[in-house]
Structure 1
Amino acid sequence: MIDRERICARSGLRLSGLLLAVGLCPLAQADEATGDTQLQTVTVTSSKTAEKARSNLRTVVDSATPIDIINSEQLLKTGRAELSEAISKLLPSFNFGTNIAGYQSTVRPLNNRSLNPAYTVVLVNGKRRHNGSVPASGSTDNSGHNPVDIDMIPISAVERIEVLKDGAAARYGADGIAGVINIILRSDPYGTHVGTSYGQLYSGQGETAKFEGNTGFALGDGGFLQISLDARKRGQAYWLDKADSGYRAYFEDDRQAAWDHRALKNGDPKLKAYNWAYNAELPFSDALKLYSYGTYGERRARVQNNFRLPNSNASIPELFPDGYFPLNNIEDTDYQVLIGGKGALSAWDWDLSTTYGRNRNSHSSDLTINPSYGPESPTSFGDLATFQFEQLSTNFDLRRTFEAIPLLNFPVEMAMGLENRWERFRTFDGDPLAYTVGPYTYPQYLADGSPNPLYAAYGGRTAIGAQAAVTIRPENEADQQRNTTSAYLSFVFKPTKRWDIGIAGRLEHYDDMPENENFSFNLTSRYELTDTLAVRGNVGTGYRAPSLTQIGYSVTDNRTAVDADGNVVPALRRTVTPNNALAKALGGGDLESERTKNLGLGLTWQPASRTSVTLDAYVIDIDDRIMLSENLYDRQAGNGAFGDVLASQGFARTDWISFYTNAFDTRTRGVDLVADHWTPFGRFGDVRWTLAFNWNNTTIRGRASSTPAALQSQGIELIGHASEGTLVSASPHTKLILGANWTLGNLAVNLLNTRYGSVETWQQNETQDRSFGAKWLTDLDISYTLFNSLTLSLGGTNIFDVRPDKNGIDNPNGGQAVYGNPPFHPAGGAWYTKLAYDF
């Protein structure tokens, strides 16, 4: 353990010295009078911009860095969407991933500026939110970072969301290189809202029912307590093609002829969830306020998987004579509690808080077997694997405004603070019957004396392990801990009425990293060229230590995989830790920290109080970017050089191996454009128009890994073409959102048109790369309020039933990737109705 007092003191002294010596150890923040962009405890921006947030401002023009604001009404009008998908519908730089199979089905990445969630800090009321426990390992994010599960926060609890879209590593942590999401909880001391909704996909699948409610109470003199609850239920939905007519599932022709050729039911899992939250503040005097918030959520998901064919080596006819669709059962439990106090002492504003959060993810399975145990195999497994992440953070912040200091004749805003963050990632092993090798082999003859076709096809050998399941063995268990202590110092200068300058620096100490002390800085500036036009910019650096999941995650995954030729095949996939002896033999090793740099330049224009436009360009460099390797296997069925390497390390020659490694140096460039205008039409009502556009492009600047000879002989790269594609082509390069919100008395009509640019899905075999064209999606919500309290709504998402191009590899088992990895939900249109009562 480290000496916290010594580290904090040393960090603060060193940081102060660097700031004074360099004179511009930069920033990412803001203030009440200067329009500075510091995400404070209760409001993300200053009190000035917070006022505008409450009046439904779409984008902030008087901030030194770009900030977008989403209010609760906009979130609730996104239809079927949960919180993370709702954000992606409303912000052009965010895209929502489409993991639609397996145990990552409930972890869908919310990418910002084509960067995965590892580079965006998530706050609740200005305080860091704890991460989830499951590493990202899906179609568009193979980083292994465990992102914050935003969907465990009830939408009904959210007053607004404020998104700072530029680097903020110096103020909020070195992982904030792409920006910050600050979720502001409701703080009304009065009023009650109750709402319910029902809807489904046009196909009739995915039936969705929701309930939401929140109520407020007054506490003391000027305090409040807000309580919120969401509950939702969603039915299963799948939309993939049926298997090719020549694809065989049965040995017998009569059963083959009767088969419906449905080999895949991957898609949206069946889901039940509820989330609860409270937010409270109790003032004792002008000098002291106590505050607290908490969230609690449970989610139960049931995930379909690929059909285990009766003629495959995963079949045990005595148990499932017609084959089976294995089911993954995923149980998530998530909670966070924060307690803090704030007030004024002399000329200083102070804020002290502590928060603890935990996410636990447990796996079980039904309608599955471990074929190596034959007819004696269980057909359900109550404990396959458990993942858990904990975080305890304590923050102390001070702020003060100096009207003038020596040598300077203008105001200076100063902020400083300390943070200590403890994190722990653990995994727990499951039922040995799920992963051990049983004694069963297929008999040569059936009970009636006829030849057993399974014996003839597979030489008696069955598949091994519980099918369609992730399992953790005792040797896979992880227990990774980290203690991070940091100090920051920032200044905001206003040399003239038109010019703001902000500088900030942050020193962080990681107790588990070789380079355990690291410095990040940020410099921002905004200058008003005229009363309506201003230029702004920022430059900064960041440092992201490997996530504990990237360091310690190790599982066995018995599902299917895509081989180097693009075929979907059964595979026993083993993810090993980066410092495992096998990983080192294959070019891996201890992970290095990622180094980041960001640069931004923008214009803001507000020609009238009803109109605002912001245009911001950015460049983000990330060195030693961490990714999951390709699926590494022996293409010579275990008889090649790679099989020898596996055997030498105690692995089966037919295992598929992957691990996390420093892969690429990347550069991301882009432009954000946001415009907001309100038009009054007199007796015909008012219309609020919005336009939001993002262009971004990621390129590979260099490779941080090399392929060992044992893999080169197989024609497989350690980090290959497919992995590169997830960075440079899997997210759309452009996204355009056009919105119109018309209100006429008690009638409100909200129309949202979104254009997603084209995307590409790359394979290890470049000849199988596929592109998917740009698409327009239209959402519509119509509501009417009766008696000033009862609101009826009818709406639809993707009302014209637009689907992604069917341009994926058409495998004979049903085209698992026929839609590729689209940036929007591939199931088509959906309708919903809502009833809400406010009193």
Structure 2
Amino acid sequence: MSLRLSASPLGLAIAFVLLTPHAHAQDATNLDTVIVTGTRAVDRTVLESTSPVDVLTAEDIRKAGVVNGELGSALQALLPSFNFPRQSNSGGADHVRAAQLRGLSPDQVLVLVNGKRRHHSALVNTGSKIGRGTTPVDFNAIPVSAIKRIEVLRDGAGALYGSDAVAGVINVILDNTPEGGSVEVSYGANHTDLKPIGRTLTDGQTANISANVGTALSDDGGFLRVGVEYKERRGTNRAGFDQIPPWDQTEANLALQGKRNYVLGDGASKDINGWFNVELPFGQTGVAYAFATYNQRDTEGANYFRYPDGEANWTQLYPNGYRPISEGENSDVQLVAGARGQWGDWNYDASLDYGQNSFTYRLRNTLNASLGPTSPTRFRTGDYEYAQTVANLDVGRVFEQGPDTTHSLGLGAEFRHERYQTRAGDPSSYAAGPFTDRPTGSQAGGGLTPQDAADLSRDVASVYASLSSQFGEHFSTDLAARYEHHDDFGGELTGKLGLRYEFTPAFALRGALSNNYRAPSLAQIGYESTDTGYNAAGQLVQGRLLSVNNPIARGLGATDLKPEKSLNTSLGFTSRIGEHFDLSLDLFQIDIDDRIALSESITGDALTDFAQQQYGVAGLQSASFFVNAADTRTRGAELVTNWRQRLGDGQLLLTGTWSYAKTTLKNVLATPDALRALDPGYVLFGIEESNTLTDAAPRTRASLGATWGNDQWTLSSRVNRYGSATRVFNFGDGYIPRQTYQAEWQLDAEVEYRFSPRWSVAIGGQNLTDNYPDLSNDDIYYFGNLPYDVLSPVGSNGAYYYGRVRYTF
């Protein structure tokens, strides 16, 4: 019997009425919640903030992240401006997923843990669409069970927190409960009707177990809280029947026609997470603290199928062809230690923060065709490592100026050291063997060569000051300034001014103006790779991603990268009517100069001849490098509304959110003369990469929800609407297919029953109507193999059902 819920209007209405949707965030709907992000004031609430701040509770994050225990998936479900697409056949993005805030690049949002800067991933996403060319923060490396709440500042905040805070700041605050604990086990799977193949599938089986416990260490506030998590997920596959590309239609290859040779979906994964959070008082006012998170994740990714009769195969090894499988070994750690307290009227916080991500990339079920039929079939293709050390000192005090005016002053200094390294893969992964008519390097990702290896570092020092003021009951301000000096890009002064005026308890205006700064990442400066794989048109090419310092890149017109600089403006209002209803609406504009992106792939005989004749590099068929591609303007709006009402013996919470963000290009980088001289048709930054920055992500997002609960029951669901997204390919010779994938709806629901103070059980589902994005058209679906695109946030896994048991003590 099918487990799917009816997709009819009646089915949707019943689900909405009986299981009214899950709240945007329970704490975000409580506007009296005191926040610590975006202000120095010690008693500001969500309602009183000069910039929009969302507060997400541990309970909502835990429930929304039930699919694979992913924090990123939970944030997408709960935040109106957060996008976290599921990539497939996308290289490194199959292993580390990138997130967007307000439609900007993944590296333009700053992530904090307990207010301390979080490091980003070491792996460069070069095969993805969303997040292409970035090393994003790996949200899924942060344990869901460790979180007390998350505060999301949706505004530029470089003056407060330093570089990267262009789109906003996400501050993950860890659980500090000094006693008790919990154990939670969940299990679920996708169950879906896959129309392209006419079958009902059950896959994606996922098991999660987490446990955490706290204990008091002293009578005056000391505590230790620790936790562990284990997560295991099987893969999903939504590929269609292979029609065989025209250029591969030989007798041996046509024998595979009508089979599912490809994979489109989530790869299998295993995660082990650990964390602790500890505080111990000393002296009269001092507190020593430390916290850490650890993640070890093994993942698999999909790659294009290699047909038996083709230059990329030896039938002695794979008589029926093969599909390479990528493997990621991802190790991630953050450790912070410090002390805070008071010196007279001043408070202080000194800390040392170390974060590191190490990633080893492997391939199996593949070969290096140039080595012949004795080629290895497994390779280590490279090692990546990023490490960050931050030393920080904050001091501040609160002082009064008259009976109705209070100021909170903050001063500080910070030093940050970053190091980025890559190491070559196995020699056989990049070797050019004796079979010169065959492509070199391991298929689906040639290994990093010794000349690709990078070792870069930088030092960043900053001093800053902020002042949050309350003038009477109606007017408040936030003012901040920071001078930050990079030893490779020099100094930059950033500032922010935020204002709020409350006309009546039911209506207040707020606005902010700031300039922000993001230096090119070390990876964007120095990362290089050599690859043999399929281009967007599905044809096999040998290519390189070149650093801007590479002589070949310089010959093609590369120049030193410049930092990105932004000017953020926002204006909004908040309203609270009685104890039942509140609303906030914020309009924003973000102007960014010198956006960094990857160039278009430069291909063709002109490139091959140029690299051979000028630099002695043979066989180069494709090249790309980072550029300051364009200036951009992003305009948008965000609406959050909440209604609370006593209903029966429980409490009802209704929530509606809507967001809009549109990015347009200005001052697009012109193709340099050196590149046009090789071929007048070459374009350095063109259609595909413009699409990545402007309309590859949905511009609109809406959510309608509610939660009803009492001492025993919690009934919840959530209806999300994701706006349209557009995919553009440039296959050359004027062949530029385009498709706009229309808006999609997703319905989630859950019922939880507490049959004792300690035990609870829940059943629920996500995407209960088994909805899918539009099918890709004939130009894009790659001959039946990839019927769905990875752009749609609704994903292509179909319905997911789960059960959960929780024990608290």
Shift in Å at residue 804 of structure 1? Answer: 0.6
> Are 2:721 and 1:755 aligned?
yes
In structure 1, what is the Cα distance between the partners aligned to 2:803 and 2:311?
47
> Are 2:55 and 1:69 aligned?
yes
Higher mean C-alpha displacement, 775-784 vs 302-311: 302-311
Q: Give the secondary structure class of the aligned counterpart of 1:108.
A: coil
In structure 2, what is the Cα distance between the partners aligned to 1:641 and 1:819?
30
Q: Give the secondary structure class of the aligned counterpart of 1:131.
A: coil
Higher mean C-alpha displacement, 579-588 vs 424-433: 579-588
Shift in Å at residue 680 of structure 1? Answer: 0.6
Shift in Å at residue 357 of structure 1? Answer: 1.0
Q: Which runs of 5+ in 2 are unaligned?
A: 1-31, 192-200
What is aligned with 1:288? 286
Q: Is the 8 A contact 1:434 1:471 kept in 2?
A: yes
In structure 1, what is the Cα distance between the partners aligned to 2:684 and 2:241?
33
What is aligned with 2:386? 389
In structure 1, what is the Cα distance between the partners aligned to 2:760 and 2:742?
38
Shift in Å at residue 331 of structure 1? Answer: 0.1
What is aligned with 1:93? 81
In structure 2, what is the Cα distance between the partners aligned to 1:220 and 1:744?
35
What is aligned with 1:682? 648
In structure 1, what is the Cα distance between the partners aligned to 2:236 and 2:216?
43
Match of 2:513 among 525, 528, 539: 539
Q: Is the 8 A contact 1:402 1:411 kept in 2?
A: yes
In structure 2, what is the Cα distance between the partners aligned to 1:142 and 1:590?
21
- 1:392-403 pair list within 5 angstroms: 392-403=389-400
Q: Is the 8 A contact 2:607 2:622 kept in 1?
A: no
What is aligned with 1:560? 534
Shift in Å at residue 578 of structure 1? Answer: 1.0
| Superposed CA RMSD | 2.2
Match of 1:375 among 364, 373, 376: 373
Given the superposition, is the C-alpha separation of residues 111 and 278 from structure 1 closer, same or farther in structure 2, using an over 3 Å criterion? same
In structure 2, what is the Cα distance between the partners aligned to 1:642 and 1:652?
7
In structure 2, what is the Cα distance between the partners aligned to 1:568 and 1:121?
36
Shift in Å at residue 138 of structure 1? Answer: 4.2
In structure 2, what is the Cα distance between the partners aligned to 1:502 and 1:218?
36
What is aligned with 2:150? 161
Q: Deviations over 1:755-811 (max 9, x none)?
A: 001110122357411100001100111111111211111111101011010134345
Match of 2:761 among 784, 792, 804: 792
Shift in Å at residue 85 of structure 1? Answer: 1.5
In structure 1, what is the Cα distance between the partners aligned to 2:607 and 2:150?
54
Q: Is the 8 A contact 2:92 2:124 kept in 1?
A: no
Q: Deviations over 1:649-679 (max 9, x none)?
A: 2333442101101001000010010112211
Give the aligned residue type for 1:232: K
Shift in Å at residue 38 of structure 1? Answer: 5.1
Shift in Å at residue 340 of structure 1? Answer: 0.5
Q: Is the 8 A contact 2:92 2:128 kept in 1?
A: no
> Are 2:497 and 1:523 aligned?
yes
Q: Is the 8 A contact 2:768 2:800 kept in 1?
A: yes
> Are 2:72 and 1:84 aligned?
yes
Q: Which runs of 5+ in 1 are unaligned?
A: 1-33, 53-59, 442-460
Q: Is the 8 A contact 1:37 1:65 kept in 2?
A: no
What is aligned with 1:173? 162
> Are 2:681 and 1:715 aligned?
yes
What is aligned with 1:616? 586
In structure 2, what is the Cα distance between the partners aligned to 1:227 and 1:487?
34
Q: Is the 8 A contact 2:601 2:622 kept in 1?
A: yes
What is aligned with 1:228? 227
Shift in Å at residue 581 of structure 1? Answer: 1.3
What is aligned with 1:279? 277
Give the aligned residue type for 1:775: E
In structure 1, what is the Cα distance between the partners aligned to 2:132 and 2:670?
15
Give the aligned residue type for 2:164: D
> Are 2:466 and 1:490 aligned?
yes
Q: Is the 8 A contact 1:35 1:46 kept in 2?
A: no
Given the superposition, is the C-alpha separation of residues 104 and 708 from structure 1 closer, same or farther in structure 2, using an over 3 Å criterion? farther
Shift in Å at residue 816 of structure 1? Answer: 3.5
Given the superposition, is the C-alpha separation of residues 246 and 120 from structure 1 closer, same or farther in structure 2, using an over 3 Å criterion? closer
> Are 2:695 and 1:729 aligned?
yes
What is aligned with 1:364? 362
Number of aligned residue pairs = 761
Q: Give the secondary structure class of the aligned counterpart of 2:405.
A: coil
Given the superposition, is the C-alpha separation of residues 174 and 363 from structure 1 closer, same or farther in structure 2, using an over 3 Å criterion? closer
> Are 2:444 and 1:468 aligned?
yes
Given the superposition, is the C-alpha separation of residues 332 and 35 from structure 1 closer, same or farther in structure 2, using an over 3 Å criterion? closer
Q: Is the 8 A contact 1:36 1:502 kept in 2?
A: no
Q: Deviations over 1:250-293 (max 9, x none)?
A: 7446x844655323114211101111110011112442000100
Given the superposition, is the C-alpha separation of residues 759 and 512 from structure 1 closer, same or farther in structure 2, using an over 3 Å criterion? same
What is aligned with 1:660? 626
> Are 2:234 and 1:240 aligned?
no
In structure 1, what is the Cα distance between the partners aligned to 2:131 and 2:542?
18
Q: Give the secondary structure class of the aligned counterpart of 1:268.
A: coil
In structure 1, what is the Cα distance between the partners aligned to 2:641 and 2:622?
49
Q: Deviations over 1:553-586 (max 9, x none)?
A: 1111222111xxxx21112221010121111111
What is aligned with 1:13? none
Q: Give the secondary structure class of the aligned counterpart of 1:334.
A: strand
Q: Deviations over 1:677-725 (max 9, x none)?
A: 2111133x22111111101110112113424454572623111111111
Q: Is the 8 A contact 1:390 1:424 kept in 2?
A: yes
Q: Give the secondary structure class of the aligned counterpart of 2:482.
A: strand
Q: Is the 8 A contact 2:265 2:796 kept in 1?
A: no
In structure 2, what is the Cα distance between the partners aligned to 1:631 and 1:356?
36
In structure 1, what is the Cα distance between the partners aligned to 2:406 and 2:629?
46
Given the superposition, is the C-alpha separation of residues 122 and 812 from structure 1 closer, same or farther in structure 2, using an over 3 Å criterion? closer
> Are 2:735 and 1:740 aligned?
no
What is aligned with 1:692? 657
Q: Is the 8 A contact 1:105 1:268 kept in 2?
A: yes
Q: Give the secondary structure class of the aligned counterpart of 1:84.
A: helix
Match of 2:92 among 103, 110, 122: 103
Shift in Å at residue 740 of structure 1? Answer: 1.1
Q: Deviations over 1:496-515 (max 9, x none)?
A: 321112211000011112xx
> What TM-score, normalized to structure 2?
0.91
What is aligned with 2:135? 146
Give the aligned residue type for 2:72: S
What is aligned with 1:594? 564
Give the aligned residue type for 2:292: G
Match of 2:419 among 411, 421, 424: 424
- 1:746-825 pair list within 5 angstroms: 746-764=712-730, 767-808=736-777, 809-810=779-780, 813-816=783-786, 818-819=788-789, 821-825=791-795
In structure 2, what is the Cα distance between the partners aligned to 1:307 and 1:143?
23
- 1:306-325 pair list within 5 angstroms: 306-325=304-323
Given the superposition, is the C-alpha separation of residues 468 and 367 from structure 1 closer, same or farther in structure 2, using an over 3 Å criterion? same
